[in-house]
Structures are given as C-alpha cells and as structure tokens.
Amino acid sequence: MRLSRAFQPTLKETPAEAQIASHRLMLRAGLVRQTSAGIYAWLPMGLRVLRNIGQIVREEQDKIGAQEVLMPTIQSADLWRRSGRYDAYGPEMLRIRDRHDRDMLYGPTNEEMITDLFGSAVKSYKELPQSLYHIQWKFRDEVRPRFGVMRGREFLMKDAYSFDSSYEAAVASYQRMMLGYLRTFQRLGVRAVPMVADTGPIGGDLSHEFLVLAPTGESGVFFDAALEEQDWLGETVDLDSHESLARFFGRVTESYAATDEKHDADAWAGVPDARKREGRGIEVGHIFYFGTKYTESMGIAVSGADGTQFHPHMGSYGIGVSRLAGAIIEASHDEAGIIWPDSVAPYRAAILNLKPGDEATDALCERLYASEPENLLYDDRAERAGVKFNDADLMGHPWQLIVGPRGAKVGLVELKRRATGERFELSVDEALARIRSA
C-alpha cells in the first residue's frame, strides 16, 4: 500500500480520553476510531492486525482438532430461558425486542446456542468428542467502557466449546485446548502465562486464565520463569493419547503461577529466587470445564454404548481477539510508538522514501515496493524525513527500509529493526532477504 493513497489518519495530539498506552497508540497510529462509547471501527491497518491475530488463533484451533462454525450475533431469549440464564444475566446483556415483540439479545457468549446446535446434530457417543469454535463479534454493555479495544462493548472473541462422553475425556479436551492456547500466544509474539482461576460452584482445578505480561496489566502476577521460557511450539504431544496430554499438562501446572488474588506465599517461597518472576498481567484467554451444566439444564443427551442416554460433559474456551490487539501493544511499545511482533504486524516492513522526486531514490523505492506490494507499506508522501521516521516508529512496522539519495545512487538501503533500533546498510536483495527471513 502506498501511504499517499492509504486511508490512514494518524493523529499528532494524544487524545484526551485515552488513559493507557495501547488506546493512545491505536488512535494516534490510525488503527481504530471510536464510533460510540466502547464501540470502534477498525481502519485498514488495524484490521490487518485484527485479521492476523484471528488467523493465528484459527490455525491453532484447527491443529488441535476444533472445527470452525459461525454463529449469529443475535440470539433468541428463549434459548437463554432454557438454561435459566436469561433472568440471571445482568445489565451487561444487550436486550432487544424485534418487530414481532419477541425478546432477542446480542450474544455476550454462546454456551446456550452451541449446546442447542450440538444437540440437534449429534445423537450418539460415537460422534464424540466434538470441539466447535467460532470467531464472532460479541456485545457486553459495560457500564463504563474504557481503555479502547481492551474493554469495549462490541468485541471480537474466539469461543470454543467441547463435548465429551466422560469427565476423563473432557479433561483431555481441556488439556488439548491448553496446548493450543500456549502455542497461539507464543506465535502472537507475547508470553501469556496460564494461572489457576476460580471455577465457581463446580470446583476442581479445571479453570485457567491466560495473562499477557504488561506493566499496565489489571492483575499482579507471580510465576516461575519456566513458564515463559518453554517452547510450546516445539512440544511434542500426541493429541489422541490421554497419557501424553496428561504429561504435558503436568509439566505446565507443576510450575508456580498465580494472580495476586490467588497468591500463596508459602508455595511461592518454594520457588528458587532466580526463577521468581513478578509483574502485572492482562487477561487475554480463559479456559473452563463446567461438566454437564448446560446439557442437563437444556435437556441435551446422546445415546451411550449401552444404549442409555447421557448428558455430554462440556468446557468453554475463550480468547479475546480484539482485546489482544491492545494487549500486544501494552506488552510491546516504547516512547516512540508500537513495536509489532512480526507475526501480527500489519505490514512486514515500511519503505521510507526520504526524497520523493529524486529519480534514483524513487526508482529504488519502487523496486523494493514491487517485490511484495501487498505486504509492504510505501511511505511515498511529500513529507519531511522526520515526519516519516516518526510515523514509521509510531505505527510500529517491524522493519524500516530507509532510502535516501546518497544510498540510492549506489544501490544501498538502510534497514532498521524497530524493536532493537539496529541499523544495517544493505543491497536491495540483501535487505529483502533479511526481512523475509524474520
């Protein structure tokens, strides 16, 4: 994309309403614009980030055998009356009456709908396990929406639901999802540490939240460094073996990790000092086993091996996709702007033409741009070099390909790595090879 033609409105001033870095930077870099309280439009560069995040989430869900569906945003209140949650849900639920005076709602989550969908399609234990997910907009009518996309009212979420024939099989589904989540966050370029969370009335320890480490996080976190050093992508786990899954799960949960709410000073004392990590975290995912709560209340059963009907065991698993755009920035920015991890960056690199109109400079920039126009942002604007440096740092492209008349004359490009500030003087081919190998 040529920046001169892009719909990419950057702001020079910091918007007054933005209290945290990600909100400020997303507005200033032109990633999103607020359209109503807690509701945002995603501008081209923001949408590219949102889609990159969604695609990584999707690929890792597919790899653990979850199947993607797409449920609608508008649900019938009757569905929620069957589970008993319609009256129990607070004012965060956006309640709607349609033209025929039927009670509807904008889905804040989809346990009821997926359970009903599952029940209408699956009749036998032979068809289990099933894991279904979708990536869809949700609405929660927060009383005070703030922090930009981190706590918006309309937000994009991946929610998955598993159906199993027994508690043991449900545990395996839960462990598969744990692996998928750890891999997802690692690929997104952030470290998200799983912490035991409250399970509510069901009890047990099958609930974890995933927190991205960032100084502005809402919770204090204490954890063993082992959890951020592990390479989950290199972890070999047999997804069909309960033993293999249990071994993996044991390795995850044997290391100490807790939010301040659940912090246990005695257990913490047992962690060697060199491996103690303290900080703050932003919740970006939550996995949860809840047994037969919905299949029972909604009367959904399948036939077992002996012919009798039983209620499948369920779990639900959420990742805040739009929230992650903000959380990644909270975890990865500096004074000058955003520092995108390569995997989610809107563009692989920006080309900075320091002297538009200079023949050699223009020619070299065009040559770079032509190599991969869909993945490069070409700053061809008639602006001063300083403006271009600032905007590129603000937008956070992982690499900058800086082209001035002196270098252009001899075919050289200055390549800057945004994260480290390192600079390299390279030929066109060397520079392109370098950014492609990242």
- Could you tell me how many residues of this chain bind a copy of itself (CB under 8 A)? 52
> Please, are residues 416 and 423 in contact by the beta-carbon 8 Å criterion?
yes
> Please, are residues 395 and 349 in contact by the beta-carbon 8 Å criterion?
no
Among 130, 255, 332, 361, the residue binding a copy of itself under the rule CB under 8 A is 130
Q: In this complex, which beta carbon is closest to a copy of itself, that of residue 72 or of residue 203?
A: 72
203 contacts a copy of itself (rule: CB under 8 A): no
Distance of CA 147 to the CA centre of its chain: 16
Among 12, 13, 16, 70, the residue binding a copy of itself under the rule CB under 8 A is 70
**Residue 63 to residue 307: CA distance in whole angstroms:** 32
**Residue 165 to residue 174: CA distance in whole angstroms:** 13
For the bound state, the minimum distance from the C-beta of residue 237 to a copy of itself, rounded and expressed in Å, comes to 18
Site string for a copy of itself, 215-254 (x = CB under 8 A): ----------------------------------------
Q: In this complex, which beta carbon is closest to a copy of itself, that of residue 113 or of residue 282?
A: 113
Please identify, among the stretches 129-137, 203-211, 312-320, 327-335, the one whose residues bind a copy of itself according to the rule CB under 8 A. 129-137
Distance of CA 380 to the CA centre of its chain: 32
For the bound state, the minimum distance from the C-beta of residue 56 to a copy of itself, rounded and expressed in Å, comes to 16
Strands 313-320, 94-97: pairing kind? unpaired
Q: In this complex, which beta carbon is closest to a copy of itself, that of residue 31 or of residue 211?
A: 31
Please identify, among the stretches 80-88, 102-110, 236-244, 342-350, the one whose residues bind a copy of itself according to the rule CB under 8 A. 102-110
Torsion sign (Cα): 269, 271, 273, 279: negative
Give DSSP secondary structure letters for 88-124: HS-TTSEEEE-TT--EEEE-S--HHHHHHHHHHH--B
360 contacts a copy of itself (rule: CB under 8 A): no
Give DSSP secondary structure letters for 332-401: SEETTEE---TTT-SSSEEEEESSTT-HHHHHHHHHHHHT-GGGEEEE--S--HHHHHHHHHHHT-SEEE
Q: In this complex, which beta carbon is closest to a copy of itself, that of residue 132 or of residue 392?
A: 132
Q: Which two tokens stand for residue 168?
A: 């043991």
Residues 74 to 93 in contact with a copy of itself, rule: CB under 8 A: 74-76, 79, 91-92
Q: What is the 3-state secondary structure (H, E, C) of 180-232?
A: HHHHHHHHCCCCEEEEECCCHHHCCCCEEEEEEECCCCCEEEEEECHHHHCCC
Residues 28 to 47 in contact with a copy of itself, rule: CB under 8 A: 30, 33, 35-36, 39-44, 47
For the bound state, the minimum distance from the C-beta of residue 374 to a copy of itself, rounded and expressed in Å, comes to 8
Residues 396 to 435 in contact with a copy of itself, rule: CB under 8 A: none
Binding stretches for a copy of itself (CB under 8 A)? 1, 5-7, 9, 30, 33, 35-36, 39-44, 47, 50, 65, 67-76, 79, 91-92, 94, 96, 98-99, 102, 104, 106, 113, 116-117, 120-122, 130, 132, 137, 139, 141, 143, 153-154
